[in-house]
Structure 1
Amino acid sequence: MVAVDQGTTGTTVCVLDQSAHVVGRAQTEVTVTYPRPGWVEQDPEQLWGGVVATVSAALRAAGRAPADIAAVGITNQRETTVVWDRRTGRPVAPAIVWQDRRTSGACERLAAAGHGPEVAERTGLVLDPYFSGTKIAWLLADDPELARRAGRGELAFGTVDTWLIWRLTGGRTHVTDVTNASRTLLLDLADATWSAPMAELLGVPMELLAEVRPSSEVYAETDPASFLGVSVPVAAAVGDQQAALFAQACFAQGQAKNTYGTGSFVLLNTGPTPPPPREDGALLRTAAFQLAGEPVHYALEGAVLATGSAVQWLRDGLGVVGSAAETAQLAGSLSGNDGVYFVPALAGLGAPHWDPRARGTLVGLTRGTGRAHLARAVLESIAYRTRDIVEAMTAAGTPVTELRADGGAAANPWLMQFQADVLGIPVDVPDNLETTALGSGYLAGLATGVFPDRAALAGLRRTAARYEPALAPATRDSLYADWLRALDRSRDWAQD
């Protein structure tokens, strides 16, 4: 099986054998552009071309041919928005990436008009520029001709999964899965169907939208003229964070994972009934996964918008470190943080605060502050932001007793130990950190009979490292109290 993970900064493809072992792997970088402050864009054609090239490279690494592919599974950056011409298949604008903040004003106007509670009730989400719906609306409002063409059914919208499936199948298949649909501000979460009232509220023509399908199902066959000369099943689509939840074998209600990537995403499985909305709106309610013939499983989610991107800023923006791995050694060279805190609000604050105007803040500096303090402050901020979300999950009535960790930063032993320390619960890291790709492969394998059931998949997960909390509760809570003070400074900036 070929498991495609199309992410924000790169595309990774893993070739899995029938025992779910990775027998071939390849990765290519993705260009991200920033044309104006707060704007984040990508070229949809580069996303598509990168997928085909990376699949080819992964097959070569595995010593396999395209004809050997049993199925293709796709996982993807979620809220990123692509609109294209149905006839030509060509994008009509750059992809607007999930990190883009250009619709902050529109979200604020909708909230001021009192629409926030209705949005939360119907979709499980909050009015934030993070999600796809206001991005689509912006594209149409910015170009009246696009709006007219959208209303005539000439254009198609998709998150990245939909865009890739369209291209894989030669433009024959316009589908999305329930997890990606649940990130658009346009899905009725309880019914798992598009919401006409939400589409009307945001100004999005229903003609743009794809058919909503389960995460694990054969949608179509690839078009040989488009994809390596072969016709093979496209059998899974799932948002990247839900893919990681699935690969971490969080199949039961109450199990939770955190993926440390460009951002961090804590998901807690809440079972086959949507969790009830809460007035504080701290956590998102989202679809977790759906197997063919089964009900949707749901999750609570907390999103941190800057994790790996904060380390990247430390490396590329400031030149404080030469590599991400260097941060662990620098952080460990200090016996404490000496009161230095960094709030990673480089793209606003996500859950549980949802403050798009908050700004990154560094506090507690003295003449003795050095590179090690900055590196430690950035790593600590990742752990503190995770605790923000876990605290909100506890307040929602579901305490987290173990956190399963994956993503690139899960390979940082200093961070993982500090994460366990500041949470006061164990952090369990699997032997394969590429859980987003694995999740799409597992779901494709279930749809095509390569894997018999979820129980078989649960047996494939193996722990590589387990971190037990070592800080005294009083020390843990004192550090966190100082973090909350720094957090308040970050949010005060927006009020000045």
Structure 2
Amino acid sequence: MASHIHSAKSFTNPFHLSLRNLQLADKQGDPIYYVGVDVGTGSARAAVVDQTGAILGLAERPITRNELKANFITQSSTEIWDAICYCVKTAISQSHVDPADVLGIGFDATCSLVAINEKTDEPMGVGPDFADHLENIILWMDHRAEVEVNEINATHDECLKYVGGKMSIEMELPKMKWLKNHMPKDSNGESLFKQCKFYDLADFLTHKATGSETRSFCSTVCKQGYIPEGITNRNGWSSEFLNKIDLPELVEDNFRRLGGVDGVNGKFLSAGETVGSLTEKAAEQLGLTTDCYVGSGVIDAYAGWIGTVAAQTETPIADLVEQDKNNKGMAKAKGRLAAVAGTSTCHICLDEKPIFVDGVWGPYRDVMAKGFWLAEGGQSCTGALLAHVLSTHPAYMELGVASEASGTSRFDFLNSRLEQLKKSTKERSVVALAKNLFFYGDFHGNRSPIADPQMRASIIGQSMDTSLDSLAVEYLAACEFIGQQTRHIIEKMEVAGYDIKAIFMSGGQCRNGLLMRLLADCTGLPIVIPRYIDASVVFGSAMLGAVAAEDALKNRKGPNAKSRRNSAVSNTDNQQNHPDQPPSPYTAPSATASMTSISALAAGNAQSAYPFPTMTPIEDESKQLGANFDASDEDEDAQLSFGSKSRAQATATKNFISKKTGTEPGDKLWKIMTELSGVGRIIYPSSENDPDRKLLNTKYKIFLDQIETQQRYRAMVAKTEDAIKAYLNI
């Protein structure tokens, strides 16, 4: 590989590289590309992906959220769609891909509730200002429906068994019930609630793209109380349950406001199954074509699962190899826990049978593939925990000055500081620096596995030291807490019946070597760092589009047929003839601060070119632009640059068209996942006899004791308070 790196004669202009590889691709046949769209809480992003799994273009744009009243947090579906259109056009512009060659698009989004007028298909205001119809999304983190969620959970309906025993205030039925209770009447005296239809945000985006009322099992099963056919005596929505919680409006006409009855007046799909092709209007808005097909969407954390768990590794993980001998297709995903990490962390695992775990949401059937079940645990505070620990310490300002002076991130600086502290104190290891600091970090309650929203943080062993060294040790203890709580979740899942072999990480936390090491040593499991650290979620949504693209190919009029609309123009022509198109990525300002580092993903990551990338995934992805390859060498299937199209892509196109897919549920999706995921880096746990493992095992017992002690103390106080109230006759 090194022989093909030529600093003196390498092409550095990506337009030249793109042209060169486009010519190579043309010799092999029409290339095929996919677009992934991810809508998070604060931004929308889009990525263009080729058939080697290389990200050729990625754009991001912020979206606003409004909190006009405490616990009322709203967004606008109009703003979100506009942001998506901008991002898709910009990513296409960056990639230099002909829009006619994009045959699949997938969407993921936060699990937020979208209200739409049934008659006009226009937004409906969700309050507190019901006259503001632009604000038509109740965001997942909105907590207005406290009364409603308690009333729903008081029914003890059988559907609650499949959402972890009770609905969360962040789910969508409590929000619909709140709207029923609070939406005003119009000028004709008709309730605005009766004029609404409802979507999970990901399902709204597929509706916006295709005009279809098709819903996803991911959205409806995970967040709305839908039970797929054959699990209970109910098949889908329950009129008995909805009438019980005073929502008869949702029952009308075979549940039309919720998407209807599957196979009667509605359609429900697993991840990536084809919803339909883009409408002419959506194709025009997105800068794509009506030959582009839309895969059924998923909640954002589940897109992270798709984008990580099929990764291969430099050396095979023995336990997974042994397990895979007896499994085919989607069943190979068993034992692979996805940890989708950000402000919080979701833990998602799949199995062929329903496994109920106290404090873990699910099990959810048919979300990824028919007949397969997923469970979702979670830590409500991980990235936010580390930020809180740093920002509230007296040495925080000193940390900022010192890390900036060193040219490193705060976390990298602290990791180095801990190494120095180990030497200066002559401590056995970095982990041993916090041996007598017992940090329990549930500042915002516990989601999994004890599902106790009243849990709070406790720290035993603090001194009056306010130095930078004390901040480093407290940060170390917080990282340890994240690892110990992950172990707690995994142990509960395994006791219930899961057999977890490895943790597949995603998110910026993957760059924190200290945290990844602690996760491995606390859990005793290998940690797999993915090909794309920051982009694994949008990468997963592109895979949904890749599944749908197979249907797009079947419906094309010929192997080289172009679109009925918006076809055939080069990016240069697009800029000249369509001034509303986004500017060149080389002149346009970045939409957000994170875009610059994320946009450089493709160059060093073409797994089809080499068995493992020059820059390993745990390194800063922006550094991957530093490698320049000789574009004159036509013998290597090398991904040459961000925005380029390689011979590997053209070869993959031919294989894609000719390769037959299995007929088992989820085979298409699993095939796409394995072909595009590429290679991940492994962090193995230390041996069981390692001193740090022994110390962490002991501190895990203390961690469990801190939970039990806090709950016991609260019960003692509550008992005393009840006695006081009785005495005072309150």
Shorter-chain TM range is: 0.7 to 0.9
Q: Which residue, out of 167, 172, 195, partners 2:208?
A: 167
| Change over 3 Å in CA distance of 1:129–1:488 after alignment to 2 | farther
**Aligned match of 1:185:** 224
Does residue 1:81 correspond to 2:124, yes or no? no
Distance in 1 (alpha carbons) for counterparts of 2:84 and 2:156: 37
**1:402/1:332 Cα in 2 relative to 1: closer, same or farther (>3 Å)?**
farther
Partner of 2:650: none
Distance in structure 2 (CA, Å) of the matches to 1:56 and 1:429: 30
Q: Does 1:437 align with 2:515?
A: no
In the aligned structure 1, how far is the partner of 2:279 from the partner of 2:106? 15
Separation of aligned partners in 2, 1:356 and 1:103: 16
Whichever residue aligns with residue 428 of structure 1, its letter is V
**Residue 220 of structure 1 contacts residue 234 of structure 1 at CA under 8 Å; is this kept in 2?**
yes
1:475 aligns with 2:572: no
Which deviates the most, 49-58 or 213-222? 213-222
Q: CA contact under 8 A between 1:120 and 1:281: conserved in structure 2? A: no
Report the TM-score when normalising by structure 2: 0.60
- In structure 1, the gaps of 5 or more residues are none
How far did 1:490 drift? 6.6
CA distance in 1, matches of 2:75, 2:442: 23
Q: Please say if residues 236 and 440 of structure 1, whose CA atoms lie closer than 8 Å, have aligned partners that are also in contact.
A: no
Find out whether 1:327 has 2:359 as its counterpart. Answer: no
Secondary structure (helix, strand or coil) at the match of 1:74 reads: strand
After superposition, give the CA deviation of every residue in 1:393-425 in whole Å (9 maximum; x if it has no partner). 111022322111112212221111110011111
Residues 1:461 and 2:677 are matched in the alignment: yes
Which TM-score applies when normalising by structure 1?
0.86
More deviation, 48-57/29-38: 29-38
How far the C-alpha of 1:90 sits from its partner, in A, is 1.4
Name the SS of the counterpart of 2:92 in structure 1. Answer: helix
The corresponding residue for 1:121 is 161
Q: How far apart, CA to CA, are the structure 1 residues paired with 2:72 and 2:440? A: 23
Name which of 40, 55, 70 aligns with 2:88: 55
AA paired with 2:342? G
Equivalent of residue 176 in structure 1, options 211, 215, 220: 215
Question: 1:235, 1:444 within 8 Å by CA — same for their partners in 2?
Answer: yes
2:321 maps to 1:265:
no
The amino acid across from 2:271 in the alignment is: S
Aligned counterparts of 1:381 and 1:429: Cα–Cα separation in 2: 20
Distance 1:490-1:67 versus aligned 2 partners, 3 A rule: farther
Instruction: Specify the alignment match of 2:280 in structure 1.
Output: 224
1:109 deviation in Å?
Answer: 4.3
Which deviates more from structure 2 when the two are superposed, residues 86-95 or residues 34-43? 34-43
AA matched with 2:145: T
1:339 to 418, 427, 437: 437
Of Structure 1 and Structure 2, the greater strand share is in 1
How far is the alpha carbon of 1:254 from its aligned partner? 2.6
Change (3 A) 1:440 1:482: same
Question: Once the 2 structures are TM-superposed, how far is the Cα of residue 489 of structure 1 from its aligned partner?
Answer: 6.8
Greater RCO between the two (CA within 8 Å, min separation 6)?
Answer: 2
The correspondence for 1:96, drawn from 107, 129, 138, is: 138
Once residues 145 and 350 of structure 1 are traced to their aligned partners in structure 2, the CA distance between those partners, rounded to angstroms, is: 37
Return the structure number with greater helix share: 2
Contact persistence 2:206–2:296 (CA under 8 A): no
Q: 1:158 aligns with which of 195, 199, 205?
A: 199
AA matched with 1:157: F
Contact kept, 8 Å, 2:183 with 2:192, in 1: the verdict is no
In structure 2, the residue matched to 1:350 is 447
Q: Is contact 1:265–1:302 with CA below 8 Å preserved after alignment?
A: yes
Give a deviation string over 1:203-228, Cα, whole Å, max 9, x none.
Answer: 44134212422322221232333423
Change (3 A) 1:373 1:140: farther
Asked if structure 2 preserves the Cα contact closer than 8 Å seen for 1:331 and 1:375, the reply is no
* Cα 1:414–1:289 shift into 2, 3 Å: same
Cα distance in 1 for partners of 2:350, 2:225 equals: 22
Deviation at 1:379, TM superposition (A): 2.8
For the aligned residue pairs, the C-alpha RMSD in angstroms reads 3.1
Q: Tell me the equivalent position of 1:130.
A: 170
Alpha-carbon offset, residue 89 of structure 1: 1.4
Give the 3 Å change call, closer, same or farther, for CA 125–145 of structure 1 in structure 2: farther
Task: Name which one, 1 or 2, has greater alpha-carbon Rg.
Answer: 2
2:296 is equivalent to residue 236 of structure 1: yes
The residue number in structure 1 matching 2:238 is: 195
| Aligned partners of 2:505 and 2:528 also within 8 Å | yes
The answer for the alignment partner of 1:447 in structure 2 is 548
Partner of residue 388, structure 1? 488
Match of 2:611 in 1: none
Alpha-carbon distance between aligned partners in 2 of 1:50 and 1:316, rounded to the nearest angstrom: 31
Higher mean C-alpha displacement, 257-266 vs 376-385: 376-385
